[in-house]
Amino acid sequence: MITLRVSDLKQYIYCPRILYYYYVLPVPRRVTGKMEYGKIEHVEIQKLEKRRGLKPYGILEGRRDFQVYLSSTRLGLHGVLDMLITAENGDIYPVDFKHSLYKKGLHQKYQLAAYAMLLEETFLRSVRFGFIHLIPAKAIVPVEITTSMREHVKKVLSAIRKVAVSEKMPAYIRSDRRCVDCEYRNYCADVG
């Protein structure tokens, strides 16, 4: 089984071709200004989060851990979670920091669901909710982690592996907005 990264889910849902270029045709990736800015913001938000309470998450008491490495041989998946909240009662919540103004894009929700699944396997606890922290909007969006989301994550992982094994280029998502900032835009001959 090909081991995948949690970020691969987000990328595949955003545009399947990103994974084709990463796994099948490993070409140089252009680091965009938005990507660099996002990295800097992640560091800054971690500093701020260490000083804040958990009230914005609807949690009274608990602990935060940052940059939590998670992996599962069963799922063939690994990733680094931005922040893990462990509430005083033992409940755990994944938090994913995003440099985005858009609330709960599908690619963001399923990436969060994948982190929840990794946490469940690691800590042997159910994860019912997680949070997307939209950095520019300074908004914390709660996301319910449903059974259908978990099933969709498994389907997407299978689809990504199929792209890697078949070595066939998937169709691209017809969205000018998505293509503008794509690090692989130069390799898509049929994108204007």
The answer as to whether 124 is a domain residue is: yes
Whole-number pLDDT of residue 103? 60
CA distance 78 to 119: 11
Number of domains in the chain: 1
The answer as to whether 179 is a domain residue is: no
The answer as to whether 54 is a domain residue is: yes
- Helix 6-14 to helix 147-166 angle (10° resolution) is 80
Q: Are 58 and 142 in contact (CB under 8 A)?
A: yes
Whole-number pLDDT of residue 71? 96
Whole-number pLDDT of residue 81? 96
CA distance 117 to 83: 15
Enter the tokens of residue 110. Answer: 């399923």
The answer as to whether 191 is a domain residue is: no
The answer as to whether 174 is a domain residue is: no
The answer as to whether 173 is a domain residue is: no
Whole-number pLDDT of residue 40? 58
For 49-87, b/e burial (b = at least 16 CB within 10 A) is beeeebeebebeebebebebebbbeebebebebbbbbbb
Whole-number pLDDT of residue 91? 95
DSSP conformation class of 69:
E
Identify the CA nearest to 181 among candidates 10, 14, 4, 12: 14
The answer as to whether 180 is a domain residue is: no
Per-residue pLDDT of the chain (192 residues; tens, 9 = 90+): 889 999 999 888 888 888 888 888 877 666 555 555 555 565 666 666 666 778 888 998 999 999 999 999 999 999 999 999 999 999 999 999 887 766 657 778 999 999 999 999 999 999 999 999 888 778 899 999 999 999 999 999 999 999 999 988 887 666 667 777 777 777 776 544
Whole-number pLDDT of residue 89? 93
Residues spanned by the domain of 140: 4-168
CATH code assigned at 109: 3.90.320.10
Whole-number pLDDT of residue 36? 55
The answer as to whether 154 is a domain residue is: yes
Whole-number pLDDT of residue 192? 43
